[in-house]
Amino acid sequence: MSAFLGHIHYWLYRKIQLLVERENLILEKTSKVVDDLAEELHSISVDTYGEPINPSIPLENIIDHGNI
């Protein structure tokens, strides 16, 4: 990650973390209301788009430094 673009990567990664946290909150709240349907829709989403990132993993641990 270049010094010029480094801060942009952190900014975008934080936005991704917030979206994953929001998705988890929505799943939690809708599971209480529609139960199995929420889990089914989440499963379809994961099958279609892949597993979301773990928002607790720091960006430094995800970056492939050999590819820079």
| Rounded distance between C-alpha atoms, residue 22 and residue 54, angstroms | 13
Spatial distance between the Cα atoms of 62 and 68, rounded to a whole number of angstroms: 13
Structure pTM?
A: 0.75
Q: What does the pLDDT read at residue 28? A: 94
pLDDT tens track for 43-60: 999 999 999 889 899 998
pLDDT for the residue numbered 1: 52
Contact in structure between 20 and 53 (CB atoms under 8 Å): yes
Q: Which tens digit of pLDDT belongs to each residue from 14-44? A: 999 999 999 999 999 999 999 889 999 999 9
Q: Which pLDDT score, from 0 to 100, does residue 58 have?
A: 92
Check residue 15 and report its DSSP letter: H
